[in-house]
Structure 1
Amino acid sequence: MGSLPEASFQGTVHVGGEASGTLIASDLELSFWGGVNPQTGEIIDRHHPLSGCYLQDAVLAIPGGRGSCSGSGVMLELLLNKKAPKALLFERREDILTLGVMVAKEVFDTSIPVLTLNPNDFRAVLNMNGETIHVRSENVSTKAFSIRNESLTTEKQEPSIAGTVKLNSLDKELLEGTFGTASQVAIRLILRMANLLGAHELMDVTQVHVDGCVYTGSGCLLFAEKLRDLGGNVQVPTTLNSISIDQKRWRAQGVDASFGEAATRLADAYVDMGCHPTFTCAPYQLESAPRKGQQVAWAESNAVVYANSVLGARTMKYPDFLDICIALTGRAPRAGPHVEINRLASLVVRVSDVCLKSVDDSFYPILGYNVGSLSSTETPVIVDLEALVPSKDDLRAFGAAFATVSSAPMFHILGITPEATVLEHILQKEPEVRCVDVKMEGLRDCWNELNSARRDLPIDLISLGNPHFSLEEIKKLARLCQGRVKSEIVAVVMTCGRSAYGLAKQAGLVDELEKFGVQFITDTCWCMLTAPTIQPSANAIMTNSAKYAHYGPGLTSRKFFFGSLAQCVEAACQGHITEVFPKWLADGAGR
């Protein structure tokens, strides 16, 4: 590639510093969790144009992140493993990945520059892919900086800890260390994020759901144990997301001892700080689920989207590590979906061209995946679905797929979700709202993208429960399996929370499904499962989760089929797929 003319830009500094590296750039957002290997720095999202690239020694330019809140954990591990990019350049404010760098700086004294560029400059940078890029403070250039300008030092360019945030007496006491060192570290990170968000004050929350209990490597364990050993104790009711192992069964399941012990230590550190060992990625299934209008601080992308959209509670898409900081202080930035105006839709998605006859449970995740692709950063309102009556599980599947490919923290569905009773009431006033149409061919494209396996490839594993299965889904699975015989060569594995498992056990559903051959795993989820549950194989995995069909190929190096729950049961019995498309997609393909 020939060198381009010298160019220089100025951006907004979120974490200061100086670095140089070869530019790796894309105009598509990237989820670091499930999209980047924290041990090697390889981009493993097989649906992303940068798949196969390595971040080490590179300057990464992407519009922003997407998908999982655990991206901050992956970012921290990359930095501690010395596999991180030399600098991060974003087109817009990026909370999750920036927080990972802030934690590395605040707690581990290591960091990289993080800047946002204006849209025109960002697009110009995209054209420099493969060039050597130099970053110093707010300056980005293709020309090396020869003489250090002391006016551009990191200390002068980065905002102060408090910045423009108005502190009340509690915030000041926390910052001064009155309540201990753990809460002091926590409030410093909260204030760093508040400044990034442009929040002018902090607010109280009534509960927290922590996603940082997922074991991504030694960094997340060091962080949690340090907070615990510094005397950390949660100040509001706090639940825990799925962890990386089934805590009660991992030894019997043959999980590597060093990994199992580290993941157990991480979970124990959070429980020691007063968190409840719920270990589920579906906290909305718990009795403690928040009500409409309640201010909470949840992490885990699907849970955040469900809380905002379906429950009508109010939470930002909190990055890992910030979640426990908020739990330790009870304080959160007043920004994002906590504020009424930020909950308004900026995009209308019309579904009038879609055939709604014969839809089954595969329709909602495919639609969510398509809508998320159409609204990568915007909060959408979906119209023309009033004739349908989606269940809570349908909305959960829609939201999980939506959150996989969109960074937006919520959606509305007119006539279905609680805040979308009147269209005009949930639309932003300025600027003018865009309208887009979902097409049958777009849904078919999504179906084909998630079905990465050849049609004739045998299936040896059915993956269910990403996010965790609810009691109603377990009941539905039992009905579908009744009177059927599973193929001996196919394993059927379901993940669910301890609460749902306990209720299913009481109802006799666990024994019934185990006779069919279903294996139950609690505490953990498919995005964390590896060997021995998932063995290397030339055969395919089938799932009813669009989220796992997206992340799975990169996480497992396996090919995937996606389909309805009924299709999954049929494949479990036959050992292969029997339908290329579901009836709703086949019937509507000619529209």
Structure 2
Amino acid sequence: MPRPTSLTVRSLVPGAAQGALLFADVGLSFWGGVDPLRGEIIDRHHPLSGEYLTGRVLAIPSGRGSCTGSSVLMELISNGHAPAALVLAEADEILTLGVLVAQMIFERSLPVLCIGSEAFAALRGKAFARIDGASLAVFDHIPVDNWQPSETPTQARDTSTAIELSEFDHALLNGAHGKAAQMAMQIVLRLAELQGAQRLIDVTQAHIDGCIYTGPASLRFAQQLVQWGAKVRVPTTLNSISVDQRRWRELGIDPLLGEPASAVGDAYMAMGAQLSFTCAPYLLDSAPKAGDQIVWAESNAVVYANSVLGARTLKYPDYLDICIALTGRAPLIGCHLDAPRKARLRVELPKLAELDDAFYPLLGYHIGALAGSRIPLIFGLEQRQPDLDDLKAFGAAFATTSAAPLFHIAGVTPEALDPAQVLEPDTPLPVATIRLEDLLVSWRELNSARDNRVDVVSLGNPHFSLSEFARLAQLCRDRVKHPEVVLAITCGRAVLEQARDAGYIDVIETFGATLVTDTCWCMLGEPVIPRAATTLMTNSGKYAHYAPGLVGRNVHFASLAECVDAACTATASGRLPSWLQPALPMENRSHV
């Protein structure tokens, strides 16, 4: 029998398992990165792309990207396509929460371990892993033995807690406010313990990302809460759902998706949530103010709330969001506090020429990957005055590649107007200097299409704002879309009505665009994207990253103006923006 390497671990969710080791040193977003029905890794930018998780021990530094990763993992556990275990370098609340909810609702689980960066590096090249409680053994070869796990209960646990609880907290925990609130409080406390919180705080509002339909388990979870009498305790908005609830039949969506996806939205509204259905709740009149303690899920919304509005929220996993909305109580940890909002990485930008709107999503995508879980402080945009749409696009792309819930831009974002305010005194930061050549690498990564043909132009990820509609109407006026190109825009109902009242929608519909509400491009597929379509074009760094895995099409990424031009010609120009052209060798610049 081969001699194993034994490692010291922290058990986030206890259990016992073994399997072939699937290792990567890059974080993975389960939403948009893993097929919830088959367990295939579909993130085409990830080193494990094409691998299957089922029955294998997945070792990744952490999750990243979408808050819906918890829902995808719960779905995989429910349908039997989950990994045998998760081994993480650093604790990840999104993935851990998915396992905890599966325990509570489906009585199924898998072990989750946190082992630290040094031990994690030792997993590289290992073939097999075995987990038994707080013990991890890894092997160079598959062992041949009759291993039996020790008795490791995954359900029974001490219900006492070291967290300071109020009288109301105790009442919730004891079931005085109903079974749904009791279950929600149990989950809130379990995550609070894992995070090291000492007490809970009141929140003023919630935004629920768990209303996305990832499969039958996500609907069952929501309907179970309704059956238990769940009612939200704070004003609560809903993220995009998986279909346009009013028009999914008209759009040709299969009832096998349309009916359960719509039912998930109905279930959350039955709990008292508002009919908002937008991934950009910061565009609503109910958007929080600086200093407000909130619970928001949806990765781009979390990053925007923290960074641009100065509100305070963690990057809450799906299902923890509704649990906090049902209790009104959240762990006092992370970005709810002052110190964890400080910068952990200084990013310096190169000298830049005149910019277009493709710059900010590209920069966010690049810095997100560079920062990992560290909060960056970015220098070099002090005189550029990026507007709210620029910051929205930056934040969405940043949240796609980073696990951090916050960014600072010196002289721009509210907490970094004076950069010294987000620095720890006498604590030098590591410095990352970005060159234009580095941004060119990320540009080429987002531009996965090799054919200049454009079949679909995708706009509104995150949902379009009123000012984006104004800009689009200006670009579309007195022009007509190519008959073989689909140009579709996703947006919230409230913004759509504002744009209609302002006269923008008449111009855009005359151009030939399709308007879709309630859902977003991360959930849209055929037939909104025609089956024969092979190539998409978008101005969204987030969607340019996710689309190849989600819908199996390659992508052109460019500015909004380039997208409209492509909609008219059915062809991508392939031009580099002028501000990026200095990254090319001199002899190549005349060819772009």
In which range does the TM-score fall when normalised by the shorter chain?
A: over 0.9
2:441 maps to 445
What SS does the aligned partner of 1:9 have?
strand
Give the C-alpha shift of residue 575 in structure 1.
Answer: 0.8
Distance 1:138 1:47 in 2: 32
What do the CA deviations read for 1:45-92 (whole angstroms, capped 9, x no partner)?
000000000000100000000000000000000001100000000000
1:296-315 to structure 2, matched below 5 A, reads 296-315=294-313
What SS does the aligned partner of 2:405 have?
coil
1:384 maps to 380
Distance 2:346 2:486 in 1: 42
1:221 maps to 219
Does the Cα contact within 8 Å between 1:382 and 1:414 map onto a contact in 2? yes
What do the CA deviations read for 1:242-294 (whole angstroms, capped 9, x no partner)?
00000110011111112111011110000000000100000000000000000
Query: Aligned match of 2:252 in 251, 254, 266?
Result: 254
Distance 2:229 2:481 in 1: 51
1:434 maps to 430
Give the C-alpha shift of residue 570 in structure 1.
Answer: 0.6
Does the Cα contact within 8 Å between 2:440 and 2:583 map onto a contact in 1? no
What SS does the aligned partner of 2:131 have?
strand
Does the Cα contact within 8 Å between 2:205 and 2:234 map onto a contact in 1? yes
Distance 2:148 2:165 in 1: 35
Does the Cα contact within 8 Å between 1:536 and 1:558 map onto a contact in 2? no
What SS does the aligned partner of 2:171 have?
helix
What SS does the aligned partner of 2:441 have?
helix
Does the Cα contact within 8 Å between 2:452 and 2:573 map onto a contact in 1? no
| Root-mean-square deviation over aligned CA pairs | 1.7
Q: TM-score, normalised by structure 1?
A: 0.96
**Pair 1:462 & 2:460 matched:** no
1:398 maps to 394
1:485 maps to 480
1:163 maps to 161
**Pair 1:407 & 2:406 matched:** no
Distance 1:133 1:248 in 2: 48
Give the C-alpha shift of residue 452 in structure 1.
Answer: 0.4
Question: Is the alpha carbon distance of 1:160 and 1:441 closer, same or farther for their aligned partners in structure 2, counting shifts above 3 Å?
Answer: farther
Does the Cα contact within 8 Å between 2:109 and 2:154 map onto a contact in 1? no
Distance 2:247 2:426 in 1: 53
Gaps of 5+ in 2: 587-592
Letter in 1 for 2:132: R
Does the Cα contact within 8 Å between 2:68 and 2:298 map onto a contact in 1? yes
Question: Is the alpha carbon distance of 1:485 and 1:76 closer, same or farther for their aligned partners in structure 2, counting shifts above 3 Å?
Answer: same
Distance 2:580 2:181 in 1: 52
Letter in 2 for 1:178: A
What SS does the aligned partner of 1:8 have?
strand
Give the C-alpha shift of residue 431 in structure 1.
Answer: 5.7
Distance 2:147 2:86 in 1: 23
Distance 1:386 1:343 in 2: 20
Does the Cα contact within 8 Å between 1:58 and 1:85 map onto a contact in 2? yes
Does the Cα contact within 8 Å between 1:552 and 1:558 map onto a contact in 2? yes
2:518 maps to 523
Question: Is the alpha carbon distance of 1:482 and 1:147 closer, same or farther for their aligned partners in structure 2, counting shifts above 3 Å?
Answer: closer
Letter in 2 for 1:511: D
Question: Is the alpha carbon distance of 1:443 and 1:185 closer, same or farther for their aligned partners in structure 2, counting shifts above 3 Å?
Answer: same
Distance 2:105 2:86 in 1: 19
Gaps of 5+ in 1: none
Identity of aligned residues (%): 49
2:33 maps to 35
Query: Aligned match of 1:292 in 286, 290, 293?
Result: 290
2:97 maps to 99
Query: Aligned match of 1:420 in 416, 420, 436?
Result: 416
Give the C-alpha shift of residue 161 in structure 1.
Answer: 4.2
2:590 maps to none
Query: Aligned match of 1:190 in 185, 188, 191?
Result: 188
What do the CA deviations read for 1:505-539 (whole angstroms, capped 9, x no partner)?
11221121111001000000000001111133363
Does the Cα contact within 8 Å between 2:54 and 2:83 map onto a contact in 1? yes
Give the C-alpha shift of residue 155 in structure 1.
Answer: 6.2
1:331 maps to 329
Distance 1:508 1:58 in 2: 54
Distance 2:2 2:413 in 1: 50
What SS does the aligned partner of 1:466 have?
coil
Query: Aligned match of 2:134 in 125, 135, 138?
Result: 138
Letter in 1 for 2:410: L
Give the C-alpha shift of residue 588 in structure 1.
Answer: 5.2
Does the Cα contact within 8 Å between 1:162 and 1:195 map onto a contact in 2? no
1:153 maps to 152
2:500 maps to 505
Question: Is the alpha carbon distance of 1:590 and 1:308 closer, same or farther for their aligned partners in structure 2, counting shifts above 3 Å?
Answer: farther
Distance 2:425 2:87 in 1: 30
